[in-house]
Amino acid sequence: MRSIAIRRTALAATAACVALLATACGGSDSGSGSGDKGADAKGKESAAAKPAAKALTADELEKAALAQGDVKGHKIAKAAAKDIIAKKDIKAEKEVCAPFANALMGAEVGDPAAFTRRTVVSEPKKDSLKDSADTEKAFKAAFDITTTQLALGTYDGKGAEESVTALRTAGTECAGGFTFTAAGEKQKVGKITEAQVEAGEDAAAWTVELGEGKDKLQVKLVAMRQGASFASFSAMNLAAAGVGGDFELPTAVVEAQAAKLA
Any idea what the Cα angle at residue 104 is, between residues 15 and 240, rounded to 5°? 45
Nearest to 229 by CA among 191, 257, 252, 195: 257
Determine the length of the chain.
262
* CA–CA dist 78, 65 (Å, integer): 10
Q: Which residues pair with 205 in a beta bridge?
A: 195, 222
197 burial class (0-12, 13-18, 19+ CB within 10 angstroms)? buried
- Compute and round to an integer the Cα radius of gyration of the chain: 18
* pLDDT value for 72: 95
Successive 10-residue mean pLDDT values, the chain, 262 residues? 57 54 44 44 47 87 98 95 93 97 97 97 74 65 88 97 98 97 93 96 96 84 98 92 78 97 94
* Nearest by Cα to 236 from 255, 213, 256, 208: 208
CB 202 within 8 A of CB 47: yes
pLDDT for the residue numbered 23? 46
For residues 97 and 173, is the Cβ–Cβ distance under 8 A? yes
pLDDT for res 48: 47
Contact 204, 168 (CB under 8 A): yes
Q: Which of 160, 152, 166, 178 is nearest to 99 (CA)?
A: 166
d(CA 85, CA 105): 7
Which residue type sits at 137? K
Which pLDDT score is estimated for 43?
Answer: 44
Q: In what order do the strands lie in the sheet with 178-182?
A: 74-78, 114-122, 146-154, 229-237, 217-226, 202-210, 185-195, 178-182, 90-92
Q: How far apart are CA 27 and CA 48, in angstroms?
A: 43
pLDDT at 167: 98
Paired residues of 225 in beta bridges? 202, 230
The confidence score (pLDDT) of residue 213 equals 77
Pairing of strands 178-182, 90-92: antiparallel
**Dihedral pair phi/psi, residue 227, rounded to 5°:** 60, -130
Per-residue confidence (pLDDT) for residue 136, from 0 to 100: 65
DSSP-H helix ranges across the chain: 5-19, 44-49, 58-64, 98-104, 126-129, 135-142, 159-173, 251-261
Q: What is the pLDDT of residue 165?
A: 98
Measure CA of the first residue to CA of the last residue in the chain; give whole Å.
40
What's residue 239's pLDDT? 83
